[in-house]
Amino acid sequence: MRRYGPAALLALVGTAILRVSLFSDLYLRYVQAGLRPYLVVSGAALVLLGVAVAVVTNRADEEPGDGDDEGHAGHGDGDDEGHAGHGDGDDEGHAGHGHGPGGPRVAWFLTFPALALLLFPPPALGSYSAEREAAQRAARGVGTFAALPSGNPVDLTLGEFGSRAVYDSGRSLQGRTVRLTGFVTRGGGGTWYVTRLLVSCCAADATTAKAEVRGAQAPPVDTWVTVTGTWHPEGGLGADAAWPPVVDARTVRQVPQPDSPYEKR
């Protein structure tokens, strides 16, 4: 039975990946949207590979005359890793070398993330991560930006709002009503922010974009809100005092957490 361990493990990891990428939008909590096709393809490939490995193992079991081949192609590594392990006293007993017919032992660590994804998918990062990280603004030159899209109010990402507020010499935000969506974080002295995490590859590289909200009561931390209001200029162009940008709120509305919890950088 242990011989089918690798096959089962591959199928488990593949299923977990498919569960978050193909059958739901949960993958957006962990990686950026563009990775979805690769996740679907690799999830499917892993399930297929698991089946193929099971077939190879099964066939090797059924061919008793083919004993030699079984050791190599069927499941593996008992023989070969044996060589590798022996020459190297220092490394012996390392987790990765425990190869029985069940495949590399270290591989069983894969069950942790796989089961987590299948049973309790971890939540998207929220205010805890945002507050731990001093909000960083991507340093860039002051310059003019493309004209804002039409619409009143105009929907902006917090990243876009921040860049335009601090670096736009054309002052394109002036006189426009904007709508920002994010979760609530608290600052010192009763200030509060509408905040969003920016992710470019996976949640491990998350950075923070936020805007201070004035003129409205602070909702509880981590509630998702849509803030409609106007930009409140503060500090000079490109100056440190211009960060974080400020929005004078007209309305603050609670919304459900969007499917895509992060902004693409």
Partner 1 sequence: MENQRTESRRTAADGIRLGLRALVYAVLGGAALLAIATVASVLGPVLALDLYTPPVAAWWTVFTAITVQGVPFLLLGTLVSAAIGAFVPERVFQRLLPRRTVLAVPVAGAAGVVLPGCECASVPVAGSLMRRGVVPAAALAFLLSAPAINPVVLVATSIAFPGQPEMVLGRLLASLGTAVVMGWLWARFGREEWLRLPKRSGGRAPGGGPRAFVSGLQHDFLHAGGFLVVGAAAAATFDIVVPRSLLEVFTGSAWLSVLLLALLAVVLCVCSEADAFVAASLSGFSPTARLAFMVVGPMVDLKLIALQTGTFGRVFAVRFSAATWVVAVTSSVLVGWWLL
List the x/- string, 222-251, binding to partner 1 by CB under 8 A: ------------------------------
127 vs 181 by CB, closer to partner 1: 127
Assess 257 for contact with partner 1 (CB under 8 A): no
> Strand locations in the chain, DSSP E?
154-155, 177-186, 192-199, 207-214, 224-232, 246-254, 263-264
Assess 94 for contact with partner 1 (CB under 8 A): yes
Rounded Cα distance between 143 and 192, Å, is 29
Going by C-alpha positions, the residue among 254, 178, 173, 244 that lies closest to residue 208 is 244
Assess 145 for contact with partner 1 (CB under 8 A): no
116 vs 255 by CB, closer to partner 1: 116
Assess 142 for contact with partner 1 (CB under 8 A): no
Burial call 47-75: b when 16+ CB within 10 Å, e when fewer:
bebbeebbebbeebeeeeeeeeebbeebb
Rounded to 5 degrees, φ, ψ at 52 are: -60, -45
Going by C-alpha positions, the residue among 177, 157, 252, 262 that lies closest to residue 213 is 252
Assess 91 for contact with partner 1 (CB under 8 A): yes
> Which residues is 247 bridged to in the sheet?
213, 231
Assess 90 for contact with partner 1 (CB under 8 A): yes
Rounded Cα distance between 15 and 170, Å, is 50
Residue choice 11, 18, 101, 137 for contact with partner 1 (CB under 8 A): 137
List the x/- string, 183-202, binding to partner 1 by CB under 8 A: -----------------xxx
Residue choice 77, 160, 168, 263 for contact with partner 1 (CB under 8 A): 77
Assess 126 for contact with partner 1 (CB under 8 A): yes
Residue choice 3, 4, 9, 164 for contact with partner 1 (CB under 8 A): 9
78 vs 151 by CB, closer to partner 1: 78
Give the shortest CB-108-to-partner 1 separation in angstroms: 7
Give the shortest CB-255-to-partner 1 separation in angstroms: 21
Assess 123 for contact with partner 1 (CB under 8 A): yes
Q: How many binding residues for partner 1 (CB under 8 A)?
A: 81
Site for partner 1 in 10-69 (CB under 8 A): 10, 13, 17, 20, 27, 29-31, 35, 38-39, 41-42, 45-46, 49, 52-53, 56, 69
Give the shortest CB-92-to-partner 1 separation in angstroms: 10
Assess 146 for contact with partner 1 (CB under 8 A): no
Rounded Cα distance between 119 and 136, Å, is 34
Cβ(225)–Cβ(207) below 8 Å = no
Cβ(225)–Cβ(219) below 8 Å = yes
Cβ(231)–Cβ(176) below 8 Å = yes
| Sign, Cα dihedral of 87, 91, 92, 94 | negative
